[in-house]
Chains A and B, each alone.
Chain A
Amino acid sequence: MRMLGRTAQNLFWLSRYVERAENMARLLEVGYRMSLTSRREGGASEHLISMLQAAEMDEAFAERHEVADVDTVAYFMMFDPANPSSVYSCLQAARTNARSVRTAITTDMWESMNGAWLEFSQIKPRDVRGAKLLGLLQWVRQRSHEFRGALLGTILRDDGFAFLQAGNFVERADNTARILDMKYYVLLPRSSLVGGEIDIQQWTLILRAASAHRSYGHVYHDRYKAHNIADFLILRTEMPRSLIYCAHFVRDNLNLLAKLYGRREACHDAMDDLLKLVEGTNMDQIFTHGLHEFLNDFIDGNNRVTDTLSASYNFY
């Protein structure tokens, strides 16, 4: 049975929203930890704002809150229904998409999604201040893992699977790029040096946000260094949140669609363009070009993949 364009769209965004909820939790965790370890007065607020900048949520936040502290930022990123990227909004959107495609996903996937939403929507924001916040952030990550596990364990490897997987990894690439870009917005104290203690500490937190602070050691056998960390999150094919890994993953699933449907579409060309950014380059070139500029190019190229994919497969 052929798939409705709308179904494909719902599947793609279902996965994107689940991944985005997870990454919101990751991003907030980094912001929260940075604010705890900040050594300067007013530093906490600055870290949180730079985190919001990286997520392109700083303006929306400023419209609603005067002070950026852990409580206001956590509320905004976790619970605020007015913030379309809050965990609340993401899970709600994911569930709405899942409900629209009940027939295209498995019962296990639906139950996982529905359960996550039902539990999360019961939580009262005032109950998760302070130490409880980290617990909830972990819970969000685990529910995302559970959904992905249900997906991998139960769904047919057909076009629906390809759309789900593409959505997941397009979103993850976007988020990894943004988490890395956060470093651009985090200003080092004037007295500190690039490569100094605080600089490295910030890079470490970025690794942590990608669940990569342990695996880093296995790959580099070295102290935390900016060059390595950026390399790890951009160019290492064995790192499951790196840009190149995500891009390859999306490409494979677009190729699956081309095989199933018997032809290539505009999105396959957009994908090739994106791959050119991360293949055949190295960190020296990227740093010379400018990390922030490189990440912007990547995010744009990644968005073009979504746009062309939507047009190629009759999303509407």
Chain B
Amino acid sequence: MGENTPFDEMYNADGSVREPYRALSEWLGEQPEKGLALMQADAEAIFRKLGITFAVYGSEEGTEKVIPFDVIPRIIAANEWRKLSRGIEQRVKALNAFLYDIYHRQEILKAGRIPEKLILNNAAFCPQMMGLEPARGVYAHIIGVDIVRVGPDEFYVLEDNLRTPSGVSYMLEDREAMMMLAPDLFQRSKVAPVETYPENLRRTLESVAPAGAGRNPVIAVLTPGIYNSAYFEHSFLADQMGAQLCEGQDLFVDGGKVYMRTTTGPERVDVIYRRIDDDYLDPLTFKPDSMLGVPGIFDAYRAGNVTLVNAPGTGIADDKAVYTYVPEIIEFYLGEKALLNNVPTYNCTDVDQRAWVLENIAELVVKEVHGSGGYGMMVGPTSTKAQHEEFKKKIIARPDNYIVQPTLALSTCPTHINNDVAPRHVDLRPYVLVGDEVRITPGGLTRVALKKGSLVVNSSQGGGTKDTWVLED
């Protein structure tokens, strides 16, 4: 890994086109001058009109921005996808088994495979979940696995995202926009559909309804409200599933059951896909000053009268410090070798590793253990000397607050830049649903770093998205 020239997904080193990209390459060659620029402008107009926006925290002007969309799709071959999806399925099964174990008998700790301290003293460990029996034993129902590619056959998992992964609405809208913009390109390729996601989400949620729910369980999407950065997605998913979009104030608990306030009085709710963080979910159990949650909802959950999706406390399995143990976790619960690679991760609390990290910081990536969204991280090779020094000081001050990884040479994809096509670094977030079965939508969200040479793909840091195609055989 980490060769100097990053792997390009469209072109071989000799300049020839890789097989999955053949139709795209021909199509690009046929586009008239300014054709891509026009398409780009159309795409922007479509997204703004539909109100597909996200909020950038801390940005002064306009609270809503349109996430940049690149009109050139990213393409994954059928055999590549089969390998990836097998690896993903293995991972999410093992992580759910791990969560069940951690909140019950803690065999993996007793076996000494993971240090007890790392789990029990971890802020992401949720003692209130101990002994609770979630429907079907599933904790993480909705997962977005962050994957990067560094070679023809080399994929690495960066993060498992078992809390409330966002971005799935972009996956769906990107496809919608792409079909509007380039129907002729679709005609030349066999692209696996992604439109089934909302229905699969609904089936997954229904499959984990509490035992007492009727044949058509009532499903609600719980949102922090219209000022949340992902509000568009919350309303989009509720709409697509035909579920009720609720804020905390719309729900209340009575006699251990959850109801919503409707125009004709209270109505029972069975499954809640909540997009509110654990801490804010229930002021009676977690943060007492939370205005976003529903008082008493955790007790209703404990009593088995409602299902929360994802379960509280799943963060312990995607904690950046626990991440390094995932291969171990897979082996422990499934007796299998991990199919997908973990990125080697240096532990700064270890004196020797820390010394090495501080010496080589210019080559490394530093991430805050509890950071997300590209905030609080540093990519060594693209940072200044001053930033290196700043992060060195931070690591020395709080070694347990950071993990350090080698800088991966993320693969590049052709991307439309100023009416030209140039390679830009990409990652991939496939979306996984776990209920009565594991359902993985072919493809996922490709995020692209639009700045030349940049490896940070987060939308809050100038990243865009691409439609992601998995070709069918």
How far is A5 from B244 in the complex, measured between Cα atoms in Å?
Answer: 12
Whether, in the assembled complex, B188 has its beta carbon less than 8 Å from a beta carbon of chain A, the answer is no
- Contact across chains for A107 and B263 when beta carbons are under 8 A apart: no
Which of A103, A110, A111, A159: most chain B CB closer than 10 A? A103
- Contact across chains for A102 and B250 when beta carbons are under 8 A apart: no
Give 1 or 0 for each of B247-270: 1 = CB within 8 Å of chain A CB.
101100000000011111101000
Whether, in the assembled complex, B239 has its beta carbon less than 8 Å from a beta carbon of chain A, the answer is yes
Whether, in the assembled complex, B111 has its beta carbon less than 8 Å from a beta carbon of chain A, the answer is no
| Set B51, B236, B238: member contacting A114, Cβ < 8 A | B51
Q: Chain A residues near B129: list those with CB within 8 A.
A: none
Q: Chain A residues near B250: list those with CB within 8 A.
A: 4-6
Q: Chain A residues near B239: list those with CB within 8 A.
A: 102-103
How far is A100 from B238 in the complex, measured between Cα atoms in Å?
Answer: 12
How far is A159 from B235 in the complex, measured between Cα atoms in Å?
Answer: 19
- Contact across chains for A159 and B263 when beta carbons are under 8 A apart: yes
B324 to chain A, nearest CB (A): 41
B436 to chain A, nearest CB (A): 23
Whether, in the assembled complex, B242 has its beta carbon less than 8 Å from a beta carbon of chain A, the answer is yes
- Contact across chains for B263 and A1 when beta carbons are under 8 A apart: no
- Contact across chains for B238 and A261 when beta carbons are under 8 A apart: no
- Contact across chains for B235 and A261 when beta carbons are under 8 A apart: no
- Contact across chains for B226 and A3 when beta carbons are under 8 A apart: no
How far is A64 from B382 in the complex, measured between Cα atoms in Å?
Answer: 52
- Contact across chains for B261 and A314 when beta carbons are under 8 A apart: yes
| Set B51, B226, B245: member contacting A110, Cβ < 8 A | B51
Q: Chain B residues near A261: list those with CB within 8 A.
A: 263-264
Give 1 or 0 for each of B217-259: 1 = CB within 8 Å of chain A CB.
0000000011000011001101100101111011000000000
Whether, in the assembled complex, B48 has its beta carbon less than 8 Å from a beta carbon of chain A, the answer is yes
Q: Chain B residues near A115: list those with CB within 8 A.
A: 49
Interface size on B, residues (CB 8 A): 26
Q: Chain B residues near A110: list those with CB within 8 A.
A: 50-51
Whether, in the assembled complex, A313 has its beta carbon less than 8 Å from a beta carbon of chain B, the answer is yes
Give 1 or 0 for each of A87-118: 1 = CB within 8 Å of chain B CB.
00000000010011011000100110011001
Q: How many residue pairs bridge A and B at CB < 8 Å? A: 63
- Contact across chains for A8 and B263 when beta carbons are under 8 A apart: yes
| Set A5, A100, A114: member contacting B49, Cβ < 8 A | A114
Q: Chain B residues near A107: list those with CB within 8 A.
A: 50
- Contact across chains for A111 and B50 when beta carbons are under 8 A apart: yes
- Chain A 1-47 interface residues, beta-carbon cutoff 8 Å to B: 1-6, 8
- Chain B 267-320 interface residues, beta-carbon cutoff 8 Å to A: 267
- Chain B 154-187 interface residues, beta-carbon cutoff 8 Å to A: none
- Contact across chains for B263 and A2 when beta carbons are under 8 A apart: yes
Q: Which residue of B lies closest to A97 (CB)?
A: B226
How far is A114 from B64 in the complex, measured between Cα atoms in Å?
Answer: 12
User: Do A99 and B231 contact each other (CB < 8 Å), given the known contacts A1-B244, A2-B267, A4-B246?
Assistant: yes
How far is A159 from B51 in the complex, measured between Cα atoms in Å?
Answer: 25
Q: Chain A residues near B232: list those with CB within 8 A.
A: 102
Q: Chain A residues near B236: list those with CB within 8 A.
A: 102
B235 to chain A, nearest CB (A): 4
- Contact across chains for A313 and B263 when beta carbons are under 8 A apart: yes
How far is A102 from B263 in the complex, measured between Cα atoms in Å?
Answer: 18
A302 to chain B, nearest CB (A): 21
How far is A3 from B220 in the complex, measured between Cα atoms in Å?
Answer: 12
How far is A316 from B263 in the complex, measured between Cα atoms in Å?
Answer: 11
Q: Which residue of B lies closest to A4 (CB)?
A: B250
Give 1 or 0 for each of A59-101: 1 = CB within 8 Å of chain B CB.
0000000000000000000000000000000000000100110
How far is A282 from B288 in the complex, measured between Cα atoms in Å?
Answer: 61
How far is A2 from B263 in the complex, measured between Cα atoms in Å?
Answer: 7
| Set B48, B235, B265: member contacting A103, Cβ < 8 A | B235
Q: Chain A residues near B242: list those with CB within 8 A.
A: 1
How far is A103 from B247 in the complex, measured between Cα atoms in Å?
Answer: 13
Q: Chain A residues near B49: list those with CB within 8 A.
A: 111, 114-115
How far is A96 from B246 in the complex, measured between Cα atoms in Å?
Answer: 16
A243 to chain B, nearest CB (A): 27
Which of A1, A261, A313: most chain B CB closer than 10 A? A1
| Set B225, B231, B249, B262: member contacting A2, Cβ < 8 A | B262
User: Do A314 and B262 contact each other (CB < 8 Å), given the known contacts A103-B238, A107-B50, A110-B51?
Assistant: yes
Q: Which residue of B lies closest to A263 (CB)?
A: B264
- Contact across chains for A316 and B226 when beta carbons are under 8 A apart: no
User: Do A6 and B247 contact each other (CB < 8 Å), given the known contacts A103-B235, A314-B261, A316-B261?
Assistant: yes
| Set A3, A96, A99: member contacting B262, Cβ < 8 A | A3
- Contact across chains for B48 and A4 when beta carbons are under 8 A apart: no
- Chain B 20-71 interface residues, beta-carbon cutoff 8 Å to A: 48-51
How far is A100 from B249 in the complex, measured between Cα atoms in Å?
Answer: 13
User: Do A100 and B244 contact each other (CB < 8 Å), given the known contacts A5-B261, A5-B262?
Assistant: no
Q: Chain B residues near A118: list those with CB within 8 A.
A: 48
How far is A100 from B226 in the complex, measured between Cα atoms in Å?
Answer: 6
B258 to chain A, nearest CB (A): 14
How far is A302 from B197 in the complex, measured between Cα atoms in Å?
Answer: 46
Which of B226, B236, B250: most chain A CB closer than 10 A? B226
- Contact across chains for A103 and B249 when beta carbons are under 8 A apart: no
Q: Which residue of B lies closest to A160 (CB)?
A: B263
Q: Chain B residues near A159: list those with CB within 8 A.
A: 263
A160 to chain B, nearest CB (A): 10
- Contact across chains for A6 and B249 when beta carbons are under 8 A apart: yes
Q: Which residue of B lies closest to A107 (CB)?
A: B50
Q: Chain A residues near B51: list those with CB within 8 A.
A: 99, 102, 110-111, 114
How far is A110 from B49 in the complex, measured between Cα atoms in Å?
Answer: 9
A257 to chain B, nearest CB (A): 8
Q: Chain A residues near B246: list those with CB within 8 A.
A: 4
Q: Chain A residues near B262: list those with CB within 8 A.
A: 2-5, 314
How far is A118 from B238 in the complex, measured between Cα atoms in Å?
Answer: 25
How far is A8 from B250 in the complex, measured between Cα atoms in Å?
Answer: 12
- Contact across chains for A102 and B235 when beta carbons are under 8 A apart: yes
- Contact across chains for B261 and A2 when beta carbons are under 8 A apart: no
How far is A187 from B241 in the complex, measured between Cα atoms in Å?
Answer: 59
Give 1 or 0 for each of B113-152: 1 = CB within 8 Å of chain A CB.
0000000000000000000000000000000000000000
| Set A4, A100, A102, A111: member contacting B260, Cβ < 8 A | A4
How far is A300 from B116 in the complex, measured between Cα atoms in Å?
Answer: 68
Known: A6-B250, A114-B49. 8 other contacts (CB 8 A): A2-B267, A5-B250, A99-B51, A100-B226, A102-B232, A103-B238, A103-B245, A107-B50
Chain B positions near chain A (C-beta within 8 angstroms): 48-51, 225-226, 231-232, 235-236, 238-239, 242, 244-247, 249-250, 260-265, 267
The 7 A-B pairs at the shortest CB distance, nearest first, are namely A102-B235, A2-B262, A103-B239, A313-B263, A5-B261, A99-B226, A8-B263
